[in-house]
Structure 1
Amino acid sequence: MLNPHYTFIILTYNEETHLPRLLNSIYELNAAVCILDSGSTDHTMTIAATYNAQIKQHPFKNHPWQWHHALSTFDIKTPWVIGLDADQVISDELSTLLLNFRDEDYADVSGIYFNRKNYFKGRWLKYGGYYPFYLLKMFRYGIGYSDLSENMDHRFIVPGKTIIWKNAYLLEENLKENQISFWIDKHNRYSDLLAQEEIERRKKLRIQTIKASFWGTPDQRTARLKQMWWRMPLFIRPVIYFIYRYIFRLGILDGYAGFIFHFMQAFWFRLVVDIKIKELLDNEQTD
């Protein structure tokens, strides 16, 4: 008999490297697994089938819309769902909590944040604001939903009470990103989405779904920080952000791999976004 309390939903695209690692980490939980794939051309679907996963495919627009489709299309029989990316792994601590999870013990809770440990080039990024890092990954089916107000960042929104499992970790490591060319190509695509999104925010075509608050949930605090970011001047903010993460949040202690990650993610990527925003604004003025 399958676990009656929760179902795993996983998004995939060419994840033959990562999917066995994730599925092995949740195997003993004996929960239903639903996989939404966006057109893999490797062995992802074969791997998914060996684990008796419920599989569907859908063209990829962006992560928020892909999650929206996943939550809308699968036949979920459990009161809870857990949404995971294919490059994530359930830690032993998190597995223990999930093994003992009973819906009736959380009658007043609608969502649960997991703590994430992010790895880059084999190193845990412990500093630079990357730990602790709380992700709302488990929520009541039919209550939680995908935030469609953003193009790139994806998060679930849950009306009602949420809690944090601070010592239950998702381990996240995208092994394909060990090749910096893959990382650059991926984030170049993301920068297009983010630049267009910010242009639409400037035109009031997008509004935040989450209530911004420094004193609220982890996602509400992030929403407040994003409001501050959008008000900062282009080209200056990537410099400030990198210095903040690398010096004030001690990213320098993450070593060689940490320098590459914090520099590329905090400065290079954000600078590319700002350049593309400027190009879009200039094109509008000449049209």
Structure 2
Amino acid sequence: MSNTIAALILTYNEEKHIKRCISSLKGVCDEIFVVDSFSKDNTVKIAEGLGATVIQNPWKNYATQFNFGLHNCGIKSDWVWRIDADEFLEGEIGHSVKDAIASCSDDVNGIYVRKRIDFMGRPLLHGGWYPSYHLKVFRRGHGDCENRWMDEHIRLYDGRSVTVESGNQVDANLNDLTWWTEKHNGYATREMADMLMMEYGLDAKSQEVEPKFFGTEEQRKRWLKIRYIKTPLFVRPFINFTLRYIVKGGFLDGREGFIWHILQGFWYRMLVDAKIYELKKRFGWDKEKIKNYLQETYLS
């Protein structure tokens, strides 16, 4: 078996980030593929100039775009590394993953790496955000991205996974708060649809991560999300903020942490609930009408 790795990056107007991302992959990934959603800035030019192979495809959602790239980029490497354009590899994570691939048995098809979020230039090390482990590297042909509108994870078809402890895959977006809030407004719409599809049984459970509290990080998050959905509207954002900011020590990340938890842990979650309430009210709380709307808008 070869130990080669291909990076798969999705982009749209990522000229601020793409050089940093690709540069961090040098010496780690043997192939670098970018699936671009017809960027209007210099993303494609920069990526190609750094040696990446770029293909373009219209955007629907993250899952469909990632799986399009997985099956249409002509990947030759045996392993695929999922990394976003505003992320980069830090420390010894790349070499540790390569060592894990070189020494793992044939039944290992996935590798968990440690992820860190930097917000307004500050690493978020509390509030349950770090350390956080995500399945980012998987053996080609043994996994893909589950088809969801939000919180999509890599799922393995078979085999088992191992965890790499050194280094970080860092999420550090360089855009301002105006961009951030506009982006999360869009996320809130997708989250609204995703949560309602889970509530009404429209999600493809057989093709998604299995919810387990004592499972992998993705399985635990999915289990918790199902419980979160059952919590009353407008109450759960308060609970989420209290748990992350106070109980789990988010306040230890200073002013940047305070802003993050207010915006991401409360405002964003409240916006999702408001959009759920708005949609249900629009259809008179009629479940069948809501389900029909979701099927026509998001599943057709």
The TM-score normalised by the length of structure 1 is 0.94
Corresponding residue of 1:39: 38
Alignment partner for residue 200 of structure 2, among 198, 203, 225?
203
Paired residues of 1:146 and 1:156 also in contact (CA < 8 A): yes
> Tell me, which stretches of 5 or more residues in structure 2 are unaligned?
290-300
**TM-fit CA distance, 1:63:** 1.0
**TM-fit CA distance, 1:87:** 0.8
Question: d(CA) in 2 for partners of 1:151 and 1:220?
Answer: 17
Corresponding residue of 1:116: 115
**TM-fit CA distance, 1:79:** 1.3
Q: Which moved more, 1:272-281 or 1:28-37?
A: 28-37
**TM-fit CA distance, 1:30:** 5.3
Corresponding residue of 1:157: 155
Corresponding residue of 2:73: 74
Q: Which moved more, 1:46-55 or 1:184-193?
A: 46-55
Q: Does residue 180 of the first structure (1) align with residue 143 of the second (2)?
A: no
Question: d(CA) in 2 for partners of 1:99 and 1:222?
Answer: 27
Q: Which moved more, 1:134-143 or 1:162-171?
A: 162-171
**TM-fit CA distance, 1:95:** 2.3
Alignment partner for residue 192 of structure 1, among 189, 199, 202?
189
Corresponding residue of 1:137: 136
> Tell me, which stretches of 5 or more residues in structure 1 are unaligned?
none
Paired residues of 1:116 and 1:169 also in contact (CA < 8 A): yes
**TM-fit CA distance, 1:99:** 4.8
Corresponding residue of 2:241: 242
Q: Which amino acid aligns with 1:155?
A: H
Paired residues of 1:25 and 1:90 also in contact (CA < 8 A): yes
Paired residues of 2:96 and 2:166 also in contact (CA < 8 A): no
Q: Does residue 261 of the first structure (1) align with residue 260 of the second (2)?
A: yes
Question: d(CA) in 2 for partners of 1:129 and 1:236?
Answer: 20
Paired residues of 1:5 and 1:103 also in contact (CA < 8 A): no
Corresponding residue of 2:48: 49
The TM-score normalised by the length of structure 2 is 0.90
Paired residues of 1:115 and 1:169 also in contact (CA < 8 A): yes
Question: d(CA) in 2 for partners of 1:128 and 1:265?
Answer: 12
Question: d(CA) in 2 for partners of 1:49 and 1:201?
Answer: 40
Question: d(CA) in 2 for partners of 1:68 and 1:157?
Answer: 12
**TM-fit CA distance, 1:80:** 0.8
Q: Does residue 18 of the first structure (1) align with residue 17 of the second (2)?
A: yes
Corresponding residue of 2:251: 252
SS of structure 2 residue aligned to 1:128: coil
Paired residues of 2:30 and 2:77 also in contact (CA < 8 A): no
Q: Which moved more, 1:121-130 or 1:95-104?
A: 95-104
How many correspondences in the alignment? 282
Deviation string 1:108-163 (CA, Å, 9 cap, x unpaired) is 21100110111000100000110011111000111111111x21222100132011
Question: d(CA) in 1 for partners of 2:240 and 2:97?
Answer: 36
Paired residues of 2:97 and 2:111 also in contact (CA < 8 A): no
Paired residues of 1:4 and 1:31 also in contact (CA < 8 A): no
Backbone CA RMSD of aligned residues: 1.6
Question: d(CA) in 2 for partners of 1:217 and 1:173?
Answer: 24
**TM-fit CA distance, 1:168:** 3.0
Question: d(CA) in 2 for partners of 1:112 and 1:30?
Answer: 15
Deviation string 1:212-251 (CA, Å, 9 cap, x unpaired) is 1111111111111111111100000000000000000100
Corresponding residue of 1:97: 96
Q: Which amino acid aligns with 1:146?
A: C
Q: Which amino acid aligns with 1:186?
A: K
SS of structure 1 residue aligned to 2:34: strand
Question: d(CA) in 1 for partners of 2:57 and 2:81?
Answer: 19
